[in-house]
C-alpha cells in the first residue's frame, strides 16, 4: 500500500520499529540521568562520557575475545560494571561532599569531568574510529511485512520493556526505591529516622552510571565508537529528560519514544533534514508543556 510516492505502509512500519529500537538505548541512558537528577539533584553533564566509556570498554573486552559472540556477552556484563565502578569512585571521592552546592556549580563541575574523561579516552583508546561486529546470533535480518528488519534491532526492542519494568520495580517496589524517592523530597527527614542517606545517594548514583554503561555497551555494535559520541548523546538525553519532566523515569521513556520516532520518520520523509525533526518535536512539546509532559520532581 502506497502512502506517498515511494513510501509504502510496510516501509513506514519498519522505520517506526527502527526508531523504537533507537529509543530503547536513549531511554536506558536517559533514565540513568533522570534518576540522578531526580534524587541527587545533580545535572550530570559527564553522563554522556560514561556512555562513551561504556562503548569503548565494550569494544576492548569484545576484542580480547576476538569479537566473538561470547566476547559481546561478556562485554555486555562487564563494561557497565566498570562504568558503575567509575561512578562509585566519583561519588565517594567528590560528589558526596558537594550535594548541597547550587545547581550551576554542579553543572560546571560535571562539565569539567566530561573534559577529563574525553582526554582519558583519547589517551587510552586513541582518536581512531572503532567498530564492533554484531554478535553472530543477531547477524542478518527477519522479514516483517515483506521488509528486512535487523535482528539486533529486534533484540533492542525486546530489551526496552524489560528495562522499563525493571526500573518501575526498582523505584516502586524496592526499599531502595522508596527511600530514594523520599530522600528526593526531604533528605533531612529521611536521615532523621535513621536511614543512611549517603549510602542511598551512592547507590542511586552508581545505578545511574551503570545505566549509562549499558547504553554504551548496547550501542557499540550499531555505530562507530569514537570520541565525540558523548557530545551528541548528552544533548539528546538532556532534551529527552526535559520534555519528559525532570527527574521522572516514565517521562524519560515518553521523551525517548518521541525523540526516536521523530528521528526515524524524519530520515524517511526528508533525509537531508532528518536531524531537525526530533528537535522540532522538542520545541513543540516545550511550547505547550514548558515543564515537561509528565510531572517534574525537581
pLDDT tens digits along 136-158: 889 988 888 888 899 999 999 99
The three-state secondary structure class of 149 is strand
| Full-model pTM | 0.92
Task: Work out the percent of the chain whose per-residue pLDDT is above 70.
Answer: 97
Confidence category of residue 3, pLDDT binned at 50, 70, 90: low
Q: Residues 154-178: what's their mean pLDDT?
A: 89
**Residue with the larger pLDDT of the pair 195 and 80:** 80
pLDDT band with cut points at 50, 70 and 90 for residue 97: confident
Q: Is 148 helix (H, G, I), strand (E, B) or coil?
A: strand
Whether 142 and 151 have beta carbons less than 8 Å apart is answered as: yes
- State the pLDDT at residue 38: 84
C-alpha–C-alpha distance, residues 8 and 244, integer Å: 31
pLDDT over threshold 90, residue 198: no
Across the chain, mean pLDDT equals 89
**pLDDT reading at 27 higher than 90:** yes
pLDDT over 60 (residue 68): yes
Q: Is the pLDDT higher at 193 or at 64?
A: 64
Euclidean distance between CA atoms 165 and 3, whole angstroms: 35
The answer to whether the beta carbons of residues 66 and 225 sit under 8 Å apart is no
Mean pLDDT of the 237-248 span:
89
Non-local (6+) Cβ contacts of 91 within 8 A are 201, 202, 205, 206
At 4, the pLDDT band (50, 70, 90 cuts) reads low
Average pLDDT over residues 246-260: 90
Confidence check: pLDDT of 297 > 70: no
Residues 6+ apart with CB under 8 A from 61: 71, 74, 75, 78, 79
pLDDT above 90 as % of the chain: 55
Q: What is the DSSP letter of 144?
A: E
Examine the pLDDT at 6 and tell me if it is beyond 70. Answer: no
Amino acid at each position: 500500500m502506497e502512502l506517498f510516492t515511494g513510501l509504502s505502509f510496510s516501509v513506514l512500519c519498519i522505520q517506526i520499529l527502527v526508531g523504537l529500537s533507537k529509543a530503547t538505548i536513549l531511554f536506558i541512558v536517559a533514565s540513568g540521568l533522570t534518576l540522578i537528577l531526580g534524587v541527587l539533584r545533580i545535572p550530570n553533564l559527564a553522563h554522556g562520557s560514561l556512555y562513551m566509556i561504556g562503548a569503548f570498554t565494550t569494544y576492548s573486552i569484545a576484542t580480547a575475545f576476538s569479537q566473538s559472540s561470547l566476547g559481546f556477552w561478556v562485554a555486555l556484563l562487564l563494561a557497565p560494571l566498570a562504568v558503575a565502578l567509575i561512578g562509585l569512585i566519583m561519588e565517594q571521592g567528590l560528589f558526596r561532599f558537594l550535594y548541597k552546592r547550587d545547581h550551576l556549580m554542579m553543572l560546571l563541575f560535571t562539565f569539567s569531568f566530561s573534559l577529563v574523561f574525553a582526554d582519558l579516552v583519547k589517551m587510552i583508546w586513541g582518536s581512531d574510529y572503532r567498530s564492533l561486529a554484531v554478535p553472530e546470533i543477531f547477524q542478518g535480518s527477519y522479514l516483517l511485512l515483506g521488509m528486512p528488519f535487523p535482528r539486533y534491532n529486534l533484540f533492542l526492542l525486546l530489551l526496552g520493556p524489560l528495562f522499563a519494568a525493571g526500573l518501575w520495580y526498582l523505584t516502586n517496589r524496592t526499599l531502595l526505591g522508596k527511600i530514594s524517592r523520599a530522600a528526593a523530597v526531604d533528605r533531612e527527614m529521611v536521615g532523621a529516622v535513621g536511614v543512611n542517606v549517603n549510602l542511598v545517594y551512592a547507590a542511586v548514583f552508581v545505578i545511574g552510571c551503570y545505566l549509562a554503561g549499558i547504553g554504551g555497551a548496547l550501542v557499540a555494535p550499531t555505530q562507530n565508537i569514537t570520541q565525540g559520541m558523548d557530545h551528541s548523546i548528552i544533548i539528546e538525553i538532556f532534551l529527552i529528560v526535559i520534555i519528559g519532566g525532570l527527574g521522572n523515569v516514565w517521562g524519560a521513556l515518553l521523551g525517548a519514544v518521541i525523540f526516536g520516532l521523530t528521528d526515524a520518520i524524519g530520515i524517511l520523509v526528508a533525509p537531508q533534514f532528518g536531524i531537525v525533526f526530533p528537535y522540532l518535536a522538542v520545541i513543540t512539546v516545550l511550547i505547550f508543556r514548558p515543564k515537561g509532559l509528565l510531572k517534574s520532581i525537581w
